[in-house]
Structure 1
Amino acid sequence: MERDQILKYIQENTSPQETREIEKWIRSSKENTQKFNILKARYLATTFEETSKIINIGKSLEEYKRVLDQDTIAKRKRIWVETLKYAAMIVVVFGLATIYQVNTSDTSPIVSIPENTITLKLENGDIKTIDDDGTTRVVDSHGNIVGTQHGNRIIYNNESRVEKLIYNILTVPYGKRFDIILSDSTRIFLNAGSSLKYPIKFIKGQNREVYLSGEAFFEVAKNENPFIVNTNELDIMVLGTSFNVTSYPEDNTTNTVLVEGSVALYQDEDQDSNRKTLLTPGHLASLNKTNMEITIEKSETFLFTAWKNGNIVFRHTTFNEIIKKLERHYDITIINNNKVLGQELFTASFENPSLEHVLNTFEDNYGIEYIIDNKKITINP
């Protein structure tokens, strides 16, 4: 694992897929865990760089002794203040050294969140694990209830007295799906391997903005304030409509499929200009991440929304693309040793299938041979 990747993870700048890969690497061996702990400790130390430039331990000790050696009664009050100041400096420095020592000597994984767990990151940085069969309350930093979870859905209320934008981040791992109903009654279906950042309450008079990495289907509630979906490469603005957005970091395209209503697509620099691409129902807009060009074509929308009901549908799709979708859908790893097979096109439709059913269908109809080892599947040449 590259040092820059680990630092990116420590700074919480990784995508959901990168996060899973790094956490898996950390847990894979004691050596990796120790390497991560050391690097994190050093990173924490550098955040005190300005403090360390100011503080000189040797000088502080000398000044501390000099102050204590002064015994005039008139200076005792000043001595007490000086003593506290230098003692505080020394505590900060040695406290930092203690943090470094604890992190470097501890060989247990810092990441304690189990794999394949839905997580909710609150505005104060706390991370809650979500049991998609359970119920819980979502609270703000003051303990006020802002939403409730029932099974695989969180519903945020509009009764909160919050008057500023406060964000939660919901992350859904491979193999799972989850729904959110926002404070304006907009409903969002999150697909496997996706993350959504959103306000716990929208502010009246301001755009309703959310940030997506992965795939989601939106049923946007009508409102006088535009609803904007931000992805890394493309933004989608709507007033009230239903559409699907696919924006996985590892994919070469960002796709938007409109079911009903209308949306405007644009890049950041075009938000306030007329350079927006309008999309009408039954059409697919694809942004090529290489040349940043958008193409529009008619499309069967169910091909892009079947996942909401657990279904899998392919139309003239390469086997390599099918592998990506299966890995996300079932939280597995597929190694394809048949390079010719990777570029072949397939058409198939499965209604809420098991992984075994999908694999057996490919084996029976296309003669594909495979080996299953736990959560790893190898396609034979």
Structure 2
Amino acid sequence: MKESGFDNKVAKFLTHSISSEELDDLNLKLKDEVYHKVFRSQIEIDYTTRHIMSRYNADKAKQQLLNKIRQDKRSIRRLNLYRFGKYAALIVIFFGLGYIYWDHNYRQGRSQVMTKINEQITLELSDGTVKTISEMGNVSVHNKSGKRVGLQQGNQLIYHKGNKAKELVFNTVKVPYGKRFVLILSDGTRAHLNAGSSLKYPVEFIKGDSRKVYLNGEGYFDVTEDKSHPFIINANELNIQVLGTKFNLSAYPEDEQIKTVLVEGSVGFYDTSSEFDESSARLVPGHMAVWEKQGKTLEFKEADTELHTGWMDGKIIFSHMPFDDILKKLERNYNVHINNTYEELSQVRFNASFDTETITQVFEAFSKNYPMKFKVNENEVIISKPSK
């Protein structure tokens, strides 16, 4: 049965006065089909009233709404509208290429981070040699003595199991924008690396020592359990320690936060200036830890894990995200530079989902919901204010 508090949160969402905590609660409620249907109905009424009736006469508005409903019915199978409901239930307006709902929320302008476009996945060996990894390749990896320590099979690199190493020898995989890659470490741990990420790791772990790797970017880790050898991921100033678990870690250097979303198991945290405290608070499944880089504070809160792991299936999912942060993710995913000269957009938050769309189709979807001009020129996108 629907709670009265649900209606209040929906009203606040529609009037752009909802708090972050209320928005998180609303997202969780919308996993329930009953809440989802009610919310969808209210959003469609609000959209029709504010965005159609205010711009056209009643007859034209009615016809446009009817056309929209027919379009939804024709396209619902192709775009899996209902499937997306569990990822970001707040997105209920359909535009043919994605789902977008916007609201205004002030945010400081983003400093442009220009990243050199690199098309190839690379493997850096311990001696500094850099090898290019072809996604269709089948190549052996050898140590400096000539022994084979790993094998690349397509989009994954598998290291041989072993714990006889006397010293740590590190390799580093770098994944450019527009690519993803999977590493299977010598202990069996799987690391899915997202676009624009790198992982430094031992070719073989040492018996009796902790298993420590270094992440720059985003990765989903399925850690092999070994109580005698804790698994530690260093993300710049933050260390994440686990025994055996599944979680997503986002630690891009240009982001203001480091986010850890736990799917299974438990993880603990400590900064690089201290030691791990066994009695410290642990993250539990279905929750997210947010580390603020500037304030060096750690906050735990409930999270929809699928919103943060959809990238492994090729989805790009935004939930109440500022447009500037969306542009960062689009740059990484599509391997493009985006120059936003329309500063007003920096104050807008969106919820959206895309998977097979091209970068042009993505911005066509945004421009149908929020007036903007854009131009795609090879690996550059320029966004500007529309002329009156």
Once the two structures are superposed, the pairs formed by residues 280-299 of structure 1 within 5 Å of their partners are 280-299=284-303
1:328 matched to 2:325: no
Offset of residue 357 of structure 1: 2.5
Q: Whole-Å Cα distance in 2 between the matches of residues 18 and 179 of structure 1?
A: 26
1:141 matched to 2:144: yes
Offset of residue 188 of structure 1: 0.3
1:349 matched to 2:353: yes
The answer as to whether partners of 1:310 and 1:351 remain within 8 angstroms in 2 is: yes
RMSD: 1.9
Q: Whole-Å Cα distance in 2 between the matches of residues 245 and 359 of structure 1?
A: 27
Letter in 2 for 1:198: Y
Offset of residue 275 of structure 1: 7.1
Q: Whole-Å Cα distance in 2 between the matches of residues 353 and 374 of structure 1?
A: 16
Once the two structures are superposed, the pairs formed by residues 1-381 of structure 1 within 5 Å of their partners are 20-21=115-116, 115-159=118-162, 162-224=165-227, 225-273=229-277, 276-381=280-385
Offset of residue 226 of structure 1: 0.6
Distance change >3 Å, CA 20–CA 321, structure 1 → 2: closer
Instruction: Tell me which moved more, 268-277 or 319-328.
Output: 268-277
Alignment partner, residue 69 of structure 1:
none
CA deviations on 1:13-44 (whole Å, 9 max, x unpaired) are: xxxx99954xx7xxxxxxxxxxxxxxxxxxxx
Q: Whole-Å Cα distance in 2 between the matches of residues 285 and 297 of structure 1?
A: 7
Instruction: Using the aligned pairs only, state the percent identity.
Output: 43
Q: Whole-Å Cα distance in 2 between the matches of residues 254 and 133 of structure 1?
A: 32
Letter in 2 for 1:233: E
Q: Whole-Å Cα distance in 2 between the matches of residues 137 and 246 of structure 1?
A: 29
Letter in 2 for 1:302: E
Q: Whole-Å Cα distance in 2 between the matches of residues 20 and 162 of structure 1?
A: 36
Letter in 2 for 1:121: E
The answer as to whether partners of 1:198 and 1:211 remain within 8 angstroms in 2 is: yes
Q: Whole-Å Cα distance in 2 between the matches of residues 274 and 147 of structure 1?
A: 34
Letter in 1 for 2:372: I
Q: Whole-Å Cα distance in 2 between the matches of residues 335 and 18 of structure 1?
A: 10
Q: Whole-Å Cα distance in 1 between the matches of residues 356 and 134 of structure 2?
A: 21
Q: Flag structure 1 segments of 5+ consecutive residues without an equivalent.
A: 1-16, 25-114
The answer as to whether partners of 1:248 and 1:254 remain within 8 angstroms in 2 is: yes
Offset of residue 163 of structure 1: 2.9
TM-score in terms of structure 1 length = 0.69
Q: Flag structure 2 segments of 5+ consecutive residues without an equivalent.
A: 1-111
Distance change >3 Å, CA 346–CA 281, structure 1 → 2: same
Offset of residue 180 of structure 1: 0.2
Offset of residue 124 of structure 1: 1.3
Offset of residue 352 of structure 1: 3.7
The answer as to whether partners of 1:266 and 1:275 remain within 8 angstroms in 2 is: no
Q: Whole-Å Cα distance in 2 between the matches of residues 167 and 335 of structure 1?
A: 37
Q: Secondary structure at the match of 1:370?
A: strand
Alignment partner, residue 38 of structure 2:
none
The answer as to whether partners of 2:165 and 2:204 remain within 8 angstroms in 1 is: yes
Instruction: Tell me which moved more, 156-165 or 359-368.
Output: 156-165
Q: Whole-Å Cα distance in 2 between the matches of residues 232 and 168 of structure 1?
A: 18
Relative contact order higher in (CA < 8 Å, ≥ 6 apart): 2
Offset of residue 284 of structure 1: 0.9
The answer as to whether partners of 1:217 and 1:243 remain within 8 angstroms in 2 is: yes
Q: Whole-Å Cα distance in 1 between the matches of residues 330 and 321 of structure 2?
A: 13
Instruction: Answer 1 or 2: which has greater helix percent.
Output: 1
Letter in 2 for 1:255: K
CA deviations on 1:147-177 (whole Å, 9 max, x unpaired) are: 0001110000114853321110101111111
Q: Secondary structure at the match of 1:269?
A: coil
**Aligned residue-pair number:** 273
Offset of residue 353 of structure 1: 3.0
Alignment partner, residue 14 of structure 2:
none
Letter in 1 for 2:144: S
Q: Whole-Å Cα distance in 2 between the matches of residues 371 and 19 of structure 1?
A: 18
Q: Secondary structure at the match of 1:346?
A: strand
Alignment partner, residue 79 of structure 2:
none
Q: Secondary structure at the match of 1:356?
A: helix
Q: Whole-Å Cα distance in 2 between the matches of residues 293 and 210 of structure 1?
A: 23
The answer as to whether partners of 1:218 and 1:244 remain within 8 angstroms in 2 is: yes
Alignment partner, residue 77 of structure 1:
none
Q: Whole-Å Cα distance in 2 between the matches of residues 236 and 306 of structure 1?
A: 22
Distance change >3 Å, CA 263–CA 138, structure 1 → 2: same
Letter in 1 for 2:137: G
